[in-house]
Amino acid sequence: MVMPIPTLDELTEAVKKARAESKPRNFKQSFELIVKLPHFDPRKPEYKQNKSVLLPHPIKSTEIAVFAVGERRSMAEKAGAAFTMGRDELAALAQDKKAARKVAKSYDYYLAEPELMPIVGRVLGPFLGPRGKMPDPIPPNADMISLIDRAKRTAKVRMREQPYFSVKIGEEDMSDRDVAENALAVLNEVSREFKNPSVEIGSVILKLTMGKPVNLSD
């Protein structure tokens, strides 16, 4: 079946429906976009996408971890990084795989000074790599406030060995339209890699963390 990419209005209605059909929870739920790939073939490069998509609207609860030293580390803390770690702490972490695994699974997005990338890769790579969360390098003279804000507006799309992918696109305290615009940004970016996205992209599903999935192809 050929399914055109949903429009912004269709996505907005799906967000409203997902919200309406979700029971109240005692925590803030996230909106998730799930996209099925009916012709998935891991041998083809278009099905090996691993990219960062800049969203129109930030996801405020996204937690950023920063590996840096000195003034850059202080700047990251002031800019709102949820966690920072320097060279000596990284070296110590190499001796504690349980702690390293905890650092690797506790945050949404990772940034690192270029000179720390080798040690981050050695210590945390085995845990961050499989999650598709290896750190982005911090550019020279970067404004940490802008960099962390950008990270909160970045969705990581990673296609692996399954015929679908999922990505966090918002939270329930965001407006329906903002969540829908984030979803459309992801779909548009992924579609660019396919010659015929209406065929290659199958079911598009929206749901809250504990909510009922809303399938836009129904």
pLDDT tens digit string along 81-93?
A: 999 999 999 999 9
CB atoms within 10 A of CB 63: 15
Span 46-70, average pLDDT:
91
Identify whether the C-beta of residue 67 lies closer than 8 Å to the C-beta of residue 135.
yes
Span 4-25, average pLDDT:
92
- Supply 180's token pair: 């829908």
Mean pLDDT score of the chain: 91
Identify whether the C-beta of residue 111 lies closer than 8 Å to the C-beta of residue 102.
no
132: left (phi over 0), alpha (psi -120 to 50) or beta: left
pLDDT band for position 78 (50/70/90)? very high
Give the tens place of pLDDT for each residue, 153-180: 999 888 888 899 999 999 999 999 999 9
pLDDT at 156: 87
